[in-house]
Amino acid sequence: MYSQVDIQNDTLRKTPNSISFMVSDVEVTTLDIAETTYKRAIEKKINRIIEGYPIEQEGKNLIATDLHPFLAALHFAYAEH
């Protein structure tokens, strides 16, 4: 069960739709990370061909990875700094 806590301080801010928190400043990487289409990234993740997907995703690119998406985001955000 999730608790409804009103949190508001210098490092953590909670609103009805989001939770934000401060992190360390880092330099923007110059690493060129290969992107692929939404369809190909999903197919790689589930190891199957998909026939359809939301039209809103057309033209959007993702970074295909074998890691859990959240862990991959953390890795790509901080690995080269």
Domain count of the fold of the chain: 1
Structural domain boundaries, residue 64: 25-78
* Residue 5 domain-assigned (yes or no): no
* Residue 36 domain-assigned (yes or no): yes
Look at residue 48 in the predicted model and tell me its pLDDT. Answer: 94
What is the per-residue DSSP string for 15-80?
ETTEEEE-----PPP------EEHHHHHHHHHTS--S---GGGTT-EE---SS-HHHHHHHHHHTT
* Residue 56 domain-assigned (yes or no): yes
Per residue in 8-57, pLDDT tens? 556 778 888 888 887 777 777 777 788 899 888 888 888 999 998 888 98
* Residue 47 domain-assigned (yes or no): yes
* Residue 12 domain-assigned (yes or no): no
* Residue 40 domain-assigned (yes or no): yes
Look at residue 63 in the predicted model and tell me its pLDDT. Answer: 82
Fill in the amino acid letter for 2.
Y
Evaluate if pTM is beyond 0.75. Answer: no
* Residue 72 domain-assigned (yes or no): yes
* Residue 63 domain-assigned (yes or no): yes
Look at residue 10 in the predicted model and tell me its pLDDT. Answer: 65
